[in-house]
Amino acid sequence: MSALADLINLDLSDSSEKIIAEYIWIGGSGLDMRSKARTLPGPVKDPSELPKWNYDGSSTGQAPGEDSEVIIYPQAIFKDPFRKGNNILVMCDAYTPAGEPIPTNKRHAAAKIFSDPSVAAEETWYGIEQEYTLLQKDIKWPVGWPVGGFPGPQGPYYCGVGADKAFGRDIVDSHYKACLYAGINVSGTNGEVMPGQWEFQVGPTVGIAAADQVWVARYILERITELAGVVLSLDPKPIPGDWNGAGAHTNYSTKSMREDGGYEVIKKAIEKLGLRHKEHISAYGEGNERRLTGKHETADINTFLWGVANRGASIRVGRDTEQAGKGYFEDRRPASNMDPYTVTSMIAETTILWKP
């Protein structure tokens, strides 16, 4: 295997100017990630320098067989932590040959919202807490759990240390470093309440870049779990019963919220979010009703409430924000399988553009 490893780790820059670009896009489920690689003549600094490409949409559930071509547009570039050197990962969105965004392309609509002058002027900041569960490949049961059985009850696992509490830390740390290498603004990671469940945080990042970075961080994580022989699950309630679900809490602020007097702006924004609670819930991830039960640090899916330092609320305001009179708030409703393009742009649209 050492010879194979040597070949995988070959440094192309020793013999060629050419680089490898891994084009990434979202598949037909709206959650599955696809990618393929192409050779480029030399290093690239900006997505505008990259060619568009295409793929067979009939094989991803995104086009009929008789008209299967889907065009992918490069939108964001990251350093490739797997191939290293000048090689890159390219986040793309997908269009018909006529230039229309296909239904699973949520980035296109998000870009329109973020390019609105009123939204751009507010410099929207996001910090997204992506929770996930690592599963044993052949039985789809969390890593570290006995086959056909359960570990001890929740309590010792959150931010826990030790072979009987933390399962999969090698994957977590590999992912953390790979994301930082790629240029993703990962701000931290920790073990979660349910054993085998972890979280990483992306942000603070401005506008649509936050969603690009979450998607590429998910891609890198799935590539690492592929190497490790485990399965990544973004299911919001992977194990029924008295076990925490998995969310994607979304921390948010605008320029007005971060300035003096921002607490009043925050309260008005939360009021608007409450008026559109049903619309947000419908866009915040599949299966979220299994997670938002009013238990396990959630608010009931049919109830909207907010509070300071309340992890059982729909919206949590930090104690430091209350004391400073400015800052940010946390939308705790998004599920772990949410589309970050949809969630980030919808929060901006509701709090900035929408008029009750």
The angle that helices 340-348 and 107-114 make with each other, rounded to 10 degrees, is 30
Using pLDDT thresholds of 50, 70 and 90, give the confidence band for residue 179: very high
What is the arithmetic mean of pLDDT over 181-208? 97
Pairing of strands 197-206, 125-136: antiparallel
Superfamily designation of domain 1-104: Glutamine synthetase, N-terminal domain (3.10.20.70)
What is the arithmetic mean of pLDDT over 329-334? 97
The pLDDT score that the predictor gives to residue 19 is: 96
The pLDDT score that the predictor gives to residue 8 is: 85
Strand partners, 36: 23
**226, 121 contact by CB (below 8 A):** no
The pLDDT score that the predictor gives to residue 1 is: 57
Question: Is the domain defined by 117-353 classed in CATH 3.30.590.10?
Answer: yes
Specify the higher pLDDT residue, 140 or 311.
Answer: 140
Domain residue spans in the chain? 1-104, 117-353
How many angstroms separate the Cα of 289 from the Cα of each of 73, 237, 297?
34, 9, 14
The pLDDT score that the predictor gives to residue 335 is: 97
Using pLDDT thresholds of 50, 70 and 90, give the confidence band for residue 287: very high
Q: CA-CA distance, 329 to 331, in Å (whole number)? A: 7
Using pLDDT thresholds of 50, 70 and 90, give the confidence band for residue 66: confident
Q: CA-CA distance, 299 to 288, in Å (whole number)? A: 11
The pLDDT score that the predictor gives to residue 65 is: 84
What is the arithmetic mean of pLDDT over 314-338? 97
What is the arithmetic mean of pLDDT over 114-133? 98
Q: Give the residue among 351, 356, 248 at the shortest CA–CA distance from 292.
A: 248
The pLDDT score that the predictor gives to residue 9 is: 85
The pLDDT score that the predictor gives to residue 6 is: 86
pTM: 0.96
Residue type, 191: G
What is the arithmetic mean of pLDDT over 126-141? 96
Q: Supply the mean pLDDT for the chain.
A: 95
Question: Following DSSP, what letter does each residue of 85-128 receive, concatenated?
Answer: TT-EEEEEEEE-TTSPBPTT--HHHHHHHHTSHHHHHTT-EEEE
The pLDDT score that the predictor gives to residue 14 is: 83
With a pLDDT cut of 90, the percent of the chain lying above it is 90
Tell me the pLDDT tens digit for each residue of 93-105.
999 999 999 999 9
The pLDDT score that the predictor gives to residue 309 is: 80
The pLDDT score that the predictor gives to residue 247 is: 96
The angle that helices 340-348 and 208-228 make with each other, rounded to 10 degrees, is 160
What is the arithmetic mean of pLDDT over 170-186? 98
**At 74, which helix (H) or strand (E)?**
strand 69-79
